[in-house]
Chain A
Amino acid sequence: MTNKVRALGVAAAVTVGLSACTTGGAGGTGTIQTAINAAPTTFSPWTAETRDDYDVSRLLFDTLVRRGADNKIVPALATSWESTPTEASFTIRDGATCADGTPITAEVVQNSLHAMATAEGSVFRKIVFGPGRPTISADNAAKTVTVELAQPWQDLVQGMSLVATGIVCPAGLENPEGLRRGSVKGAFSGPYVLSASSHGVSYTFALRKGFTGWPDYGDTASRGKPAQTVQVDVMPNGSSRANALLTGGMDIGTISTQDMTRFDGDEGYTAQRLPSSSLFVLFNEREGTVFADEEVRRAVVQTLSRKSFNSAATAGLGDLATTFSHDAVPCASTDSSVLIEQDVEAAKPVLRGKTIRILGLEVIGPQGAGNTYIAEALRAAGATVEIDNVDVATWSTTGTGEPDAWDLTVFAGINAGGTMYGALSPVVGPPTEAGGANWSGTEHKDVLAMVDEAMREPDDRTRCGIYQRVQETLIEGAHVMPLSYLPAQLTTRSGFSVQVHNDQVDVATMQIDGEG
């Protein structure tokens, strides 16, 4: 054998060896590798603000209940519950403990929920408890926790499934700063503890020995085992996440539009497309603006095509929307007959000569292509259009703080609470300049009255009927125009699984299946 051939042989062996090291996957080691977009802003469930915050909190903190298939509430830390529009009582599971071994009693739950209900900076407080401060009491002997509300709020039990109501153990309550930084091991009530972290780089979660409080999702029973370790890397770029999935560097991950089709037809992966946000046209209806006039709003809606927008914004991969919330939200309208039909010719005389300033979010399609479509469609209908495609921070700042600077925007609703009330917040209620969250500037007292009525209604069917009227009022009145859902793809390598209910991923249920 010549030296050259020998050298080639050595090089090939080294290459194969290296390949094996990098593509072997982690299933066999009991580790699941996944990624988040950005460093968590907090490890406190109460003040969680981003999707990444929710995911890490879901690993660390247990909630009283979870939302299962078709929005059915299923047991988690609470084994049973009873509720009325003004009160709910939960029975706590026997044997539940904190990560430091402290038993999770009714009193521990009471203290945690009370801290959440009074915490500054919890955007979920009103979504869970409604207006006013709740009274929370505990009966350790009966193992029950009772929440009494200041006014009827039918979303309470559903709210208890949100990670924002995750139970923080006494050690966390005693050290709020440590809780926020994730450094108080005894604070955790969920299946994992944060065992190592390099902020902004990676986070390692270790399974708690003897943890048995997995949510009871019923017929979607587990097929494998929870990972001993969950390794979470920070990977902001969707293509990098897709590359990592394709090369075995990641087991479960969410990727964005442009990389979704890379997994089409690949049997080594399970891909599930989920709406990451609901996109709808939102008008600035403040007095003196062009869209204070319903006729002009209607003309805009008549000009636009949901299908064309969807092609521009999601390459056609998103589903068309029939309302302004995710369709998995309880009581979301699926009735497309409510939508105003496209009629460009009828719109042209109204829009001719009108000046419209679009505040565009650049993530809606490549370089804000969805907004560009809207601008071009309105120009073609005779309007003068100014468009400004900006990043999320500038969009939020302008939308909430500079009502004089824009007329129309495509709102990307996350609605992390998953309730119809949460979906309504950018459209109804006090305007942003009055301290509210309403971008449109019109309070819609009629709609608020209907929401109030819905919150008092114990019967699900009747309540959904009221919410249907709410959605019809806003859509038929051209206050909003539902467009489509911006998709994200949950991609899972063969040998791994995670449960998804109502388009929400429960990362605490990530598992290594049989052959993993």
Chain B
Amino acid sequence: MSISQSPHPVPRTALRDSPWLRFGLQRLTGLLVSFVLLVTVTFVIIPLIPGDPAAAIAGPEASGAEIARIRGELGLDQPLHVQFFDYVGGLLTLDLGTSFASGQDVSAMILARLPFTGQLALFAILLTLIVSVPVGMLVAVLTHGGRRPWLDHVFNAVTSLVYSVPQYVMATLLVSVFAVGFRIFPAAGAETLLSLVLPTLALMLLPICVVSRVVRRETTVVLDQDYIRTARGWRIGRVRMFGRYVLPNVITTTLTLSGLILASQLGGAVVIETVFAWPGLGQGIVDAFLARDYPVIRGTILVLGLLATLIIIVVDVILAIVDPRTVEADHD
């Protein structure tokens, strides 16, 4: 038997030295390590939360015998390593187990809530970018070289003020004014597209402040660079100059920051989801913690953790495409 050879074989060393391959392998390893850590840490840590799931399910008026029966039914009377191997065995077949509290399939429960959280986080991050990038760049241009100091002060004051308002206060204010007061938007639930407006607003205001300030600062730094001065000297049009020379240099930091914000918003919108009765994963995990519903807590943390890691990888890939120097930097 002969093995046919490619007419243009890729030298082994060349493939091994490819920065893109190395980049991909590094990210894949990161994902795998994250998965193993998430599975192990959540499994070990969650039972340390005070409170027995069986007692939580049975309620305070249940008998000791009933609590013991439920504990056996949930498998909590098994040694921890047996429970762990059961859990990992399930994960290998994509089975996240069944909820202690409801007996429902955990994957189905997470899938029911994930679109709500994803919708909210994506809307919030997209609108954050749409608002904060132009605003940050505009303020940087208008105040560049010490011009319009008043605008600089107003911008700093407003972003600082909004940033310092805790999210639950912001959410409560929005509900009070726009839902209960003017009755423009629904106060709670996720029944119509309009229901998305207030939670999105509450979720995006803080990131807008952060991202717009970062964009403003990055733009100012770029505007001071020699190549921009040269570009100006060549009388390149403003749109071309900003689109070709300023934006790509600002976008690196912005995307990195936005990726982190999006990842944190997936699981971190607990307060917003509570105030607006938004049936997302944040609300779900709070309920699961209160009920000591271990499979739901573990499954949700695992899914959120993997999604957060994936988002960061996607951002890395985008950055690598926009600015291939990041791949080279990794390689070096």
A contact residues vs B (CB 8 Å cutoff): 15, 18-19, 21-23, 35, 38-42, 49-50, 120-121, 123, 177, 180-181, 198-202, 233-237, 239-241, 243-244, 246-250, 390-401, 411-415, 422, 425-426, 430-437, 439
Contact = CB atoms under 8 A, between A and B. Distances in A.
A447 to B, nearest CB: 17
B209 interface: no
B299 to A, nearest CB: 13
B105 to A, nearest CB: 9
Interface of B: 50-53, 55-70, 73, 101-104, 108-109, 112-113, 116, 175, 179-180, 182-192, 194, 274-277, 279, 283-284, 286-287, 290-292
A38 B287 contact: yes
B291 A22 contact: no
B51 to A, nearest CB: 3
Contacts of B179: 243, 247
B63 A49 contact: no
Nearest 10 Cβ contacts at the A-B interface: A393-B51, A243-B187, A393-B56, A435-B65, A240-B277, A201-B279, A394-B51, A432-B64, A437-B63, A397-B52
A1 to B, nearest CB: 24
Contact of A240 (B68, B192, B275, B287): B275
A413 B60 CA distance: 8
Contacts of B277: 35, 233-237, 240-241, 244
Question: Which of A23, A120, A123, A249 has the most CB atoms of chain B within a 10 A radius of its CB?
Answer: A249
Contacts of A422: 61
A237 B51 CA distance: 22
B184 A412 contact: no
A247 B67 contact: no
Nearest to A127: B61
A233 B277 CA distance: 9
Contacts of B52: 393, 396-397, 401
Given A121-B70, A411-B60, 4 more contacts: A181-B104, A201-B190, A393-B56, A400-B62
Nearest to B172: A239
A39 B287 contact: yes
Contacts of B51: 390-391, 393-394, 396-397
Contacts of A240: 187-188, 274-277
A399 B60 contact: yes
B58 A49 contact: yes
Given A21-B192, A393-B51, A432-B63, A249 B112 contact: no
Given A392-B290, A393-B291, A434-B64, A201 B59 contact: no
A240 B174 CA distance: 13
A501 B104 CA distance: 33
A414 B59 contact: yes
A426 B60 contact: yes
A249 B185 CA distance: 10
5 contacts: A200-B287, A202-B279, A401-B52, A414-B60, A414-B61
Given A244-B277, A397-B52, A437 B184 contact: no
A426 B61 contact: yes
Contact of B57 (A22, A39, A49, A436): A49
Contacts of A437: 61-64, 66
Given A237-B275, A394-B50, A123 B61 contact: yes
A235 B55 contact: no
A393 B55 contact: yes
Given A391-B51, A397-B50, A401-B52, A49 B59 contact: yes
Contact of B187 (A18, A39, A200, A247): A247
Contacts of A394: 50-51
A18 B55 contact: no
A400 B67 contact: yes
B68 A435 contact: yes
Nearest to B190: A201
Given A243-B188, A247-B180, A394-B51, A200 B59 contact: no
